[in-house]
Amino acid sequence: MSDIHMPRKLKIDVLRYDPNLPNEKPHMQRFIIEEAHGMTLYVVLNEIREHHDNALKFDFVCRAGICGSCGMLINGRPGLACRTLTSKLPDLITLAPLPIFKLIGDLSVYSGEWMRGMNERLETWIHTQEKKSDINKIEEPMEPELAEEIYELDRCIECGCCVAGCGTIAMRESFVGAVGLNKLARYHLDPRDKRSDDEYFELIGNEDGVFGCMTLLGCEDLCPKELPLQSKIAYLRRTMLKVGMK
Ligand code: SF4
Ligand code: F3S
Ligand code: FES
């Protein structure tokens, strides 16, 4: 009888390493999991933790591609585990933590710490010139197309996939990455942000900002939210070039 409908036995190779254990060395550990219909890597990892090894470290909050905490290398490619169906992958699946970020252990990294540093450095919030906010003041209307463009960029979930897949950051860790440039493009477009182009130039008119990006394109390929990262980096680069040539 054909075994076409038999569930696959998935071989899940996980990179195990706890940097807090003095004698621990990085090593691969294989788990065999029976595939189920509609199975995601979120389900796989929970099954491993429940039935094979409850010490396995990995991060999840929302299971719906919203919180950005489950980024990892899936067969060498950064992606969200909760949005990855095993049916799209071969029988052998290799999981490793995202590079660039500090390792907590196994598949868990401090991406939040990196993102906080980047957000503080680039001051990713609206800068008004008002000393105090007046809650009774009616906000200036915004063109719906512009609001839509800003909203599109606000969909970034800070998952770190674009950071982990960027060769520039691998060579220069101070580079702010596509995630940082996307955020500054978002604030630059927003008429409520009163920073001048010169102030933006101070932040990203350098090798750690727009002029460091080597257009390697991994960021846009890997972004699970399919953000238009390339066109926004190009937009900022054009704007910063004008400032630089003044
Ligand atoms: Fe993730 Fe995309 Fe945001 Fe990068 S830009 S952190 S890949 S959602
Ligand atoms: Fe990196 Fe994306 Fe630029 S992958 S080099 S930020 S195009
Ligand atoms: Fe939230 Fe995957 S668990 S994005």
Secondary structure, 3-state, 139-180: CCCCCHHHHHHHHHHHCCCCCCHHHHCCHHHHHCCCCCHHHH
The whole-chain average pLDDT of the chain stands at 95
Distance of CA 114 from the midpoint of ligand 2 (Å): 17
In the predicted structure, residue 1 carries a pLDDT above the cut 70 = no
Residue 182, H or E segment: helix 177-189
Distance of CA 141 from the midpoint of ligand 1 (Å): 28
CA angle 188, 121, 237 (to 5 degrees): 40
Ligand 1 atom nearest to 115, measured from its CA:
6
Q: Judge if the beta carbon of residue 213 lies within 6 A of ligand 2.
A: yes
Q: Judge if the beta carbon of residue 66 lies within 6 A of ligand 3.
A: yes
Predicted pLDDT at 5: 74
Number of H helices, E strands in the chain: 9, 7
Which domains, ranges and CATH numbers included, belong to the chain? Answer: 9-109 (3.10.20.30), 123-128+141-244 (1.10.1060.10)
pLDDT digits 0-9 by tens, 44-71: 999 999 999 999 999 999 999 999 999 9
Q: For residue 221, give every residue at least 6 positions away whose Cβ sits within 8 Å of its Cβ, in sequence order, or none.
A: 165
From the CA of 65, the nearest ligand is 3
**What is the pLDDT averaged over residues 223-241?**
97
Calpha distance 97→1 (Å, rounded): 41
Ligand 3 atom nearest to 83, measured from its CA:
2
From the CA of 68, the nearest ligand is 3
Nearest to 165 by CA among 152, 181, 154, 179: 179
pLDDT digits 0-9 by tens, 129-153: 776 777 777 778 899 999 999 999 9
From the CA of 224, the nearest ligand is 1
Calpha distance 57→89 (Å, rounded): 22
Ligand 3 atom nearest to 63, measured from its CA:
3
pLDDT digits 0-9 by tens, 159-183: 999 999 999 999 999 999 999 999 9
From the CA of 43, the nearest ligand is 3
The residue whose CA is least distant from atom 3 of ligand 2 is: 213
3-state SS assignment for residue 238: helix
Q: How sure is the predictor about 226, in pLDDT bands with cuts at 50, 70 and 90?
A: very high
Distance of CA 24 from the midpoint of ligand 3 (Å): 28
Calpha distance 208→202 (Å, rounded): 11
Ligand 2 atom nearest to 215, measured from its CA:
7
Q: For residue 132, give every residue at least 6 positions away whose Cβ sits within 8 Å of its Cβ, in sequence order, or none.
A: none
Residue 52, H or E segment: none
Is the backbone of residue 158 left (phi > 0), alpha (psi -120 to 50) or beta?
left
pLDDT digits 0-9 by tens, 102-117: 999 999 999 999 999 9
Q: How sure is the predictor about 100, in pLDDT bands with cuts at 50, 70 and 90?
A: very high
Q: How sure is the predictor about 4, in pLDDT bands with cuts at 50, 70 and 90?
A: low
Ligand 3 atom nearest to 80, measured from its CA:
2
Distance of CA 142 from the midpoint of ligand 2 (Å): 30
Percent of the chain with pLDDT over 90: 89
Strand partners, 94: 13
User: Phi/psi at 94 (nearest 5 deg)?
Assistant: -105, 130
